Structure 1
Amino acid sequence: MAPEPHASTHDRLAAPGPAPGIAPGPGPTPERGKLGVEFASASTLASDPSEVRPLTGLRLFAAAWVVVFHFQFTPGDWVDRLLGERSPVFAVVTTGALGVDLFYVLSGFVIAFTYLGKVGPRFSPGVSWRFLWARVCRIWPVYALVTTAFGAYLLVVKLRLGDPSPAYQNVQPDLSLGSWLHQMTMTQLWFHPWHDGVSWVGPAWSISAEWLAYVLFPLTALVFYRMRHWPRPVLGVLAVALMAPVAVKCLNTGSPYFAFSWAARILTGFTAGVLVYLIVREIPRTARVRSAASRLTWVTLGLILAGLYYGESLGAAPDGSSEQGGIVLLLFPVLVGALALADRGPARLLATGWAVHGGRISYSLYLVHVPLFELWWTVMERFPAFRANSALSVVLTPVVFLASFVLAHLLFRLVEEPARRTMRRVTSGRRAKSAPGVGAGPA
């Protein structure tokens, strides 16, 4: 999931005000008439560092897309009727793995929005370290907890229950101490062409992939920063073109997977997100712009749905793959850019309190849902009273689905946010002590 997938627009490095190092272009001068005055006073993403709430809310739906995709593998006739091939929503469900790519585009946009002005002007070991530490504080604590706990569970199933295949993965992960140390560095995927069996928590492969994008960002930011004045049409074409190889692969084969596809997906999706930020960052958010962006959001979502159902209409590929709808990857940069400027329709929904909170817990949700599902699937297999289609399984299966969201909320409140604040205070305190009179830096 997927995703951080997993920076949030409320996690900012820069203090309020224009992003340091990326000063807005020459400001618009007041013109005659109402439109000119509105243009002059409208804010831009470059001048307003506040959270872009529709994009935070979008993370909830990207994560939920992945969760439903995995939930469809739960045994049971009612699950099959609801989400299976005969379901009217199958075209959306079967392509849920694309939520990872949507996370990647979102992540590139938000990382650029939050950090490019600090990291991009010139290489600085100190700034680079602070950026990477901020990312570790955000993604590592809950990742380490869930990975270790689930690895312990897999060991119990394997050693005490005698199950040689404790994980629901095509390739079983190595549960050794050395593998655990590798998991803890989040680098377990970097030298493997395929992600099956690489991570103890199956979806965590995408976190390892995204960690690579973060490690490279202090260098790639030097290039991105110098592209900030490129013509918007050029940046737009490039952002969409970057998504094309995987999109066309999906259309032709029904699958986004190939050797090192994980690297292609993170590097292209993340870069496309950065380019979208460069496109929209200095567009004044006038009423006319917000209205046009809101309409574009509706059109883009309609095209995404149409593309998913078109892909499903092509039928499964010879090997059974059915993700031809992945052609809609081309539209993800457009969707993110439109939502960054929109304030009506889907943007208004995504900016509501419940959606924004859902976006904030989406990282924990992405991590914890598969361990919870796998625990339930094991119970269904081993205990006759809970077998598929039994009365207990019919009652408890939707409870398990909803429990993944509740557990994600608890992890966010009790682990993710407290650990992040504690880890950030450690380095902030050291900087403040070593540099009297200099602010300790933002949280």
Structure 2
Amino acid sequence: MNRSVELVKIQQSSPVQDLSPRPELRALTGLRGLAATAVAVAHFQNAIPAYSGTPFMWHNAVDLFFCLSGFTLSYVYNRETFQFSSYLTARVARIYPLYLVCLIAAGALYVWPNVVNPISYPVRTAVSDFALQLAMLNAWPVIGSGVHWDSPAWSLSVEWFCYVLLFPILLFQKASPSTSTRVLCIAVSTVASFFLFTFFYDDLLVTPQLHAPKSHWSDWVALARGVLGFIAGWAAFASFQKRDGLYLACTRFSTLIWCGVALIVLLAYCRLTNPHALIVVYPFVVLAATDPNSITSRLLGSKPLHFLGVISYSIYMTHFVVFLAAVDLFGTSATWPLAVYVMLAAATAAVSVGTYFAIEMPARKAIRGIRRSAL
């Protein structure tokens, strides 16, 4: 998502070389929590026959993650103290342990018992896809296959590309001193991402099966979304850092920006606009949330939403695995009563809290401890 990309406390997520960690932007943490919840709700909602395809931030909430990641990494790291090895260790510690657990769980619950067969998904293809997913290369065009056993994990492969190759380049690039140029960068990035998704996205590419994409451009959509989202977040951070006119406008009119988000969602539900149009607004939403004094930022930074943001990665990674477990227990979702969906939401919340404290946090400490002992 992060699916990936981080907005837990800066003290927890900063690498060793950051001598003066910047204060946490609590509203951005809450914003990440809302995005993760939106993805989970969209997946659950899409499983209900009467609501399948209803655009509850369907797909585009992940683009908010990319934008947040570009902004947040630019906020946390600085070129003077940047050390690639420490940075990469922090990224691996942040995303890989839970990613690996969910990959294995999705394979055991769904792929191997239900999907692997000689015609539509041969064993040889499944083994190759598993190896690619272990290396988080599955969303990389030419190298990867595009298949993802834990459906939301496609964004983690994209995030990994941005972590390793894109962000170190952006970090050492000086943003344009012109506010208009930064606005143009954000506009071009988001509009290009919208265009590629609208015309070339093929959702069957991510499913475990043999499938020919509808266009040769379809293989590049996932990676392009991540790269363009990161760039938009990086440009938004440049405005935040310089406190330019774009930053002042976004923080001053934050309530109006959120009204715009609500309007787009409403129009999308009425089939009057493409719900993916939200990605054009996301960089401005992120900038608006950096003002701690606005009503929306205080709400996003409140304890409940902040904690939701802290466990957002667990929500994002585990909700599909919980859904697969429910399918194993109760059969196809088309026959589920409302009580099963209520239980599904409660189970996702419980599992997310559990995996955050039992897997995410101990794994981060262990990996960073290994690095410190090796230095």
TM-score of the two chains, using structure 1 as the length reference:
0.71
Q: Is 1:139 the equivalent of 2:139?
A: no
Residue 341 of structure 1: SS of its match in structure 2?
coil
Look up the match of 1:329: 279
Distance 2:261 2:345 in 1: 25
Residue 260 of structure 1: SS of its match in structure 2?
helix
Q: Contact between 2:90 and 2:368, CA under 8 Å: does it hold in 1?
A: yes
1:342-397 deviation line (CA, Å, top 9, x unaligned): 42211101111221111111111111101111221343327xxx9725xxx43232
**Rg comparison, structure with higher value:** 1
The partner residue of 2:298 within 344, 348, 371 is 348
Q: Contact between 1:6 and 1:139, CA under 8 Å: does it hold in 2?
A: no
Look up the match of 2:153: 204
User: Aligned in 2, Cα 1:67/1:218: closer, same or farther, shift over 3 Å?
Assistant: closer
Deviation at 1:98, TM superposition (A): 0.6
Distance 1:309 1:182 in 2: 39
User: Aligned in 2, Cα 1:137/1:9: closer, same or farther, shift over 3 Å?
Assistant: same
User: Aligned in 2, Cα 1:355/1:379: closer, same or farther, shift over 3 Å?
Assistant: same
Structure 1 residue runs of 5 or longer lacking an equivalent are 20-48, 121-126, 316-322, 432-443
Q: Contact between 2:201 and 2:221, CA under 8 Å: does it hold in 1?
A: no
User: Aligned in 2, Cα 1:142/1:12: closer, same or farther, shift over 3 Å?
Assistant: same
Deviation at 1:305, TM superposition (A): 2.1
The partner residue of 1:67 within 29, 37, 40 is 40
The partner residue of 1:52 within 25, 45, 68 is 25
Q: Contact between 2:268 and 2:274, CA under 8 Å: does it hold in 1?
A: yes
Look up the match of 2:360: 416
Q: Contact between 1:209 and 1:266, CA under 8 Å: does it hold in 2?
A: yes
Among the aligned pairs, what percent are the same residue? 22
Residue 183 of structure 2: SS of its match in structure 1?
helix
Structure 2 residue runs of 5 or longer lacking an equivalent are 204-217
User: Aligned in 2, Cα 1:177/1:256: closer, same or farther, shift over 3 Å?
Assistant: closer
Q: How many residues align?
A: 354
Q: Contact between 1:119 and 1:218, CA under 8 Å: does it hold in 2?
A: no
Residue 78 of structure 2: SS of its match in structure 1?
helix
Deviation at 1:191, TM superposition (A): 2.7
TM-score of the two chains, using structure 2 as the length reference:
0.83
1:28-61 deviation line (CA, Å, top 9, x unaligned): xxxxxxxxxxxxxxxxxxxxx1111000110010
1:193-245 deviation line (CA, Å, top 9, x unaligned): 9976x122111111001100001146413543x22x62233212211221002
Look up the match of 1:364: 314
- Indicate the structure whose relative CO is greater, using CA pairs within 8 Å and at least 6 residues apart: 2
User: Aligned in 2, Cα 1:7/1:132: closer, same or farther, shift over 3 Å?
Assistant: farther
Q: Is 1:108 the equivalent of 2:70?
A: yes
User: Aligned in 2, Cα 1:256/1:103: closer, same or farther, shift over 3 Å?
Assistant: farther
The partner residue of 2:219 within 231, 234, 259 is 259
Look up the match of 1:153: 109
Look up the match of 2:209: none
Q: Is 1:298 the equivalent of 2:255?
A: yes
Look up the match of 1:241: 188
Look up the match of 1:401: 345
